[in-house]
Amino acid sequence: MLKGSMTALVTPFKGDEIDLVTLRKLVDWQIEQGSHALVPVGTTGESPTLTHEEHEAIVAETVNAAAGRVPVIAGAGSNNTVEALRHMRHAEKVGAEAALVVTPYYNKPTQEGLYAHFATLHDSCELPIVIYNIPPRSVVDMKPKTMGKLAKLPRIIGVKDATGDLARVSQQRISCGEAFLQISGEDATAHGFNAQGGVGCISVTANVAPALCSELQVACMAGDYAEALRIQDRLMPLHQAIFTEPGLVGVKFAMSEIGLCSEEVRLPLTPLSDGTKELVRRALQHAGFLN
């Protein structure tokens, strides 16, 4: 079962090219630090600005580097059902354990359209699917009733919930059943999400603080919410600083500050402002990563 701290991996760049050497090092480090799964080429992996060939290379490299030590949940979403199916079939071919499929963005499908999109992907590929529901980015919100219908399909196994609405966890337990995996997509509320019935977090902050994010999730799984809250207090300034501007830009800068990878991002994203850089540095100090 997918659970615990699952890192939404950044895509490192070197100049205009993806940096697969650094990616392999990050995969090894993430696993050594206790991450329970890896999620390449999601939004944090800058999927909107990758070519199909780059997307596929990153998924394959992540699977190869992980070498079965932890599950790989491959980003495979698109607002084009045919394109999403291409990504899913490639992820299945190279050995990913599951696909993370975002609700189609920009073209704003109805609830019926959302169901048809995911049902088509389910019926056309054997890879298990985690629905990614993130209304602030996709401008559509998959309602618990629709998710409940999809949960009846055997390979629709869970949701990455980035609605920010903790009541959704209880609502989705009713509509989807207790076995349906509910995974937080928001670092700042992951502690509370688990208390409502979640089983983990697909985390941006875990790129720079994998051990702490893992320890928080392990404490939650053990029912020790007091210990998890102590860790959350240590991480909260970092969560907030990273997301002051787009989160992948913030976390790449944080990673560069402790020597993990370059802070390079692709346009239309731009480097952090000086003020936000200082917020990130102070948060890294609060968490114990910088003196």
Cis omega (within 30 of 0) for bond into 268? yes
106 is an active site residue: no
φ, ψ at 10 (rounded to 5°): -70, 160
Q: Which of 44, 6, 4, 74 is closest to 261 using CA atoms?
A: 44
* Whole-number Å distance between alpha carbons of 168 and 179: 15
Q: Catalytic one among 3, 132, 149, 277?
A: 132
Label residues 140-151 b or e (16+ Cβ within 10 Å = b).
bbbbbebbbbbb
Mapping DSSP to helix (H, G, I), strand (E, B) and coil, where does residue 40 land? coil
Q: Catalytic one among 3, 115, 149, 160?
A: 160
Q: What 8-state DSSP symbol labels residue 72?
A: B
C-alpha neighbours within 13 Å on the C-beta side of residue 215: 15
* Tokens 């209304």 sit on residue: 135
Which residues share a beta bridge with 51? none
Q: What 8-state DSSP symbol labels residue 273?
A: P
Cβ-proximal residues to 180 (8 Å cutoff; 6+ apart), any chain: 151, 157, 158, 159, 172, 173
152 is an active site residue: no
* Whole-number Å distance between alpha carbons of 188 and 5: 13
* Whole-number Å distance between alpha carbons of 2 and 209: 20
Please, are residues 184 and 161 in contact by the beta-carbon 8 Å criterion? yes
Q: Active-site residue numbers?
A: 132, 160
